[in-house]
């Protein structure tokens, strides 16, 4: 069987409480170079989605703990995550499909379904979401699109000020090298930096956005010299 996209694995979260369906999906997709995690209820699914960088999510509507529509809505509005979601359900009316799309789903597949079609739809979602990879900066689970200037960490959208965006882009472009303080000050203020240590204030705000909500810091300081960004500290 042909791998999903060359040799690159697609990491998918399968949210489905029917164990037989999960087994069938696993048997098929694992042969297509997918790396799979499974959740059988909405609460577990939300925890996994917030703590792992999935490429796609397959989501059944009728799951215990938190139904699929609520899960998708919270993923989009509360967590601000844009991971592609394929809704998988026995509900096949137009109204059901529209509710799914309104909740934030990217695609919709009605049970019973062919595993080949599930695979094809997931490949399409993956390709669509990775269309601008040439413009994508990546450090660990942190990504920044040069074209859209959108920043995500662990799949969650990160909002930055214009200054924070400039600093982060320079640090990611130079990673894992240290970027000198003077270079960062020139980036923000050209030849007229403000009085005091304004750079330190901007770096503090950047760290609050990039590192504080997550388990491991990415931004590191070389005292009196500069800053660098990498998954592991030296």
What does the pLDDT look like over 38-77, one tens digit per residue?
A: 999 999 999 999 888 899 999 999 999 999 999 999 999 8
Mean pLDDT of the chain: 88
Long-range contacts formed by 180-189: CB under 8 A, 24+ apart? 180/225, 180/226, 181/224, 181/225, 181/226, 181/227, 183/226, 184/226, 184/227, 188/163
What does the pLDDT look like over 191-207, one tens digit per residue?
A: 787 877 899 999 999 99
In this prediction, residue 134 carries a pLDDT of 55
Answering whether pTM is above 0.85, one says no
- What share of the chain has pLDDT > 90, as a percent? 63
Q: What's 135-229's CATH class?
A: mainly alpha
> Quick one: tokens of 25?
């999906």
Query: If we measure between CA atoms, which residue out of 157, 145, 132, 154 comes closest to residue 216?
Result: 154
Q: What is the CATH number of domain 10-131?
A: 3.40.50.2300
End-to-end Cα, the chain, rounded Å: 42
Where does the chain hold its CATH 3.40.50.2300 domain(s)?
10-131
Where does the chain hold its CATH 1.10.10.10 domain(s)?
135-229
Distance CA 176, CA 180 (A): 13
Sign for the pseudo-dihedral over CA of 67, 71, 72, 74 = positive
β strands within 40-197, DSSP E: 56-60, 85-89, 107-110, 136-139, 142-145, 151-153, 156-158, 179-180
In this prediction, residue 234 carries a pLDDT of 58
Query: If we measure between CA atoms, which residue out of 179, 182, 208 comes closest to residue 193?
Result: 182
- What share of the chain has pLDDT > 70, as a percent? 94
Mean pLDDT of 158-170: 94
Is 8 a residue whose pLDDT tops 70? no
In this prediction, residue 85 carries a pLDDT of 96
């Amino acid at each position: 069987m042909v791998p999903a996209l060359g040799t690159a694995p697609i990491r998918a979260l399968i949210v489905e409480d029917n164990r037989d369906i999960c087994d069938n999906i696993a048997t098929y997709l694992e042969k297509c170079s997918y790396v799979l995690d499974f959740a059988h209820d909405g609460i577990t699914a939300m925890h996994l989605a917030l703590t792992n960088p999935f490429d796609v999510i397959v989501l059944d509507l009728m799951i215990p703990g938190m139904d699929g529509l609520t899960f998708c809505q919270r993923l989009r509005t509360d967590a601000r995550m844009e991971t592609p979601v394929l809704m998988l359900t026995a509900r096949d009316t137009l109204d059901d499909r529209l509710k799914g799309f309104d909740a934030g789903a990217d695609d919709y597949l009605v049970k019973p379904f062919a595993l080949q079609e599930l695979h094809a739809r997931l490949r399409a979602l993956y390709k669509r979401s990775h269309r601008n990879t040439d413009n994508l900066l990546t450090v660990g689970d942190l990504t920044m699109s040069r074209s859209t200037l959108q920043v995500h960490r662990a799949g969650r959208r990160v909002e930055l000020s214009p200054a924070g965006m400039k600093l982060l882009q320079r640090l990611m472009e130079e990673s894992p090298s240290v970027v000198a303080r003077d270079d960062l000050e020139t980036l923000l203020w050209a030849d007229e930096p403000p009085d005091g240590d304004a750079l330190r204030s901007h770096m503090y705000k950047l760290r609050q956005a990039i590192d504080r909500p997550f388990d491991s810091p990415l931004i590191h300081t070389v005292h009196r010299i500069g800053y660098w960004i990498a998954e592991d500290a030296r």
